[in-house]
């Protein structure tokens, strides 16, 4: 079953990888993609600081949603290990080629430091983190919509173009991020409200009995 799912995952989006890299690859897109891809390592922390400093009411929810999404993804990595495109013959790992071009093993060093397990492509954290940032930014002010949505769009394009993820991995990341956001911002408040009403009703009943 797992093998069948993995084959479908690869086959349904491998052609997009090849089209992007073989038909549209340019040095400019290589470096632009690397720039957006690198934002993944700093954007979640920078945005957390921004919320803590200027919108503390949303800080806790963002951190909780980030934790729920991340640990859900880690669980999936353990139960359903998946290889990225560059692991097979579907795509070239452009970031490593950029290391060779620059003469500095920048990305190789990062990957060796934080990525001990390469079979952790689905769901894509590169899709989930920018999407969560966008959801909370839009929650604060909808006027941020255009500039905020450009950020995840750039990261998503870069991960596919650079051969780091299949399209389906990005879809999975968006779904995980959306679920984490809804759990924190919709389900948790409903549960808390229901619990408060139950406690209030119990307290009132106890008071009436005492009277």
Domain with residue 90: its CATH number is 1.20.144
Please report whether residue 208 resides in a domain. no
Counted residue by residue, the chain has a size of: 211
Q: Is the peptide bond before 123 cis (omega within 30 degrees of 0)?
A: yes
pLDDT band at 197 (very low <50, low <70, confident <90, very high): very low
Please report whether residue 8 resides in a domain. yes
For residue 119, give the DSSP letter.
-
Question: What does the pLDDT read at residue 62?
Answer: 97
pLDDT higher than threshold 50 for residue 1: no
Q: How far apart are CA 200 and CA 186, in angstroms?
A: 21
For residue 82, give the DSSP letter.
B
The helix/strand/coil state of 81 is: coil
CB 99 within 8 A of CB 108: yes
Which token pair is 104?
Answer: 């500095």
Cα within 13 Å of Cα(145), Cβ side: 2
pLDDT higher than threshold 70 for residue 179: yes
Please report whether residue 210 resides in a domain. no
Please report whether residue 129 resides in a domain. yes
Question: What does the pLDDT read at residue 7?
Answer: 46
pLDDT higher than threshold 70 for residue 35: yes
Average pLDDT over residues 46-73: 96
pLDDT higher than threshold 80 for residue 207: no
CB 139 within 8 A of CB 61: no
The helix/strand/coil state of 137 is: helix
Question: Over the stretch 126-173, which tens digit does the pLDDT of each residue have?
Answer: 999 999 999 999 999 877 677 788 999 999 999 988 888 889 999 999
If you average pLDDT over every residue of the chain, what do you get?
80
Question: Over the stretch 10-30, which tens digit does the pLDDT of each residue have?
Answer: 555 666 666 666 777 888 888
State the residue range of the domain holding 85: 2-203
As a three-state string, the secondary structure of 7-36 is HHHHHHHHHHHHHHHHHCCCHHHHHHHHHH
pLDDT higher than threshold 80 for residue 65: yes
Please report whether residue 100 resides in a domain. yes
Structural domain count of the chain? 1
59-89 burial, b if ≥16 CB within 10 A, otherwise e?
A: bebbebbbebbbebbeebbeeeebbbbbeee
Q: Could you tell me which of 160, 180, 179, 178 has the C-alpha nearest to residue 168?
A: 160
Q: Which of 15-24, 29-38, 101-110 has the highest mean pLDDT?
A: 29-38
Please report whether residue 162 resides in a domain. yes
Please report whether residue 211 resides in a domain. no
């Amino acid at each position: 079953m797992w093998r069948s799912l993995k084959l479908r995952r690869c086959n349904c989006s491998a052609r997009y990888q090849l089209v992007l890299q073989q038909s549209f690859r340019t040095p400019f897109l290589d470096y632009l993609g690397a720039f957006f891809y690198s934002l993944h390592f700093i954007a979640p922390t920078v945005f957390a600081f921004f919320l803590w400093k200027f919108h503390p009411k949303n800080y806790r929810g963002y951190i909780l949603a980030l934790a729920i999404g991340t640990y859900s993804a880690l669980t999936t990595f353990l139960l359903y290990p998946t290889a990225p495109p560059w692991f097979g013959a579907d795509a070239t790992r452009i970031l490593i080629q950029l290391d060779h071009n620059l003469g500095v093993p920048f990305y190789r060093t990062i990957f060796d430091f934080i990525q001990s397990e390469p079979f952790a492509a689905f769901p894509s954290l590169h899709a989930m983190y920018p999407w969560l940032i966008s959801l909370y930014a839009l929650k604060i002010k909808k006027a941020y919509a255009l500039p905020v949505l450009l950020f995840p769009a750039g990261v998503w394009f870069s991960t596919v173009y650079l051969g780091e993820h299949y399209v389906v991995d990005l879809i999975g990341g968006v779904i995980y991020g959306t679920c984490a956001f809804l759990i924190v911002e919709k389900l948790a408040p409903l549960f808390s409200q229901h619990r408060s009403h139950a406690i209030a009703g119990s307290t009132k009943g106890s008071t009436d009995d005492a009277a």
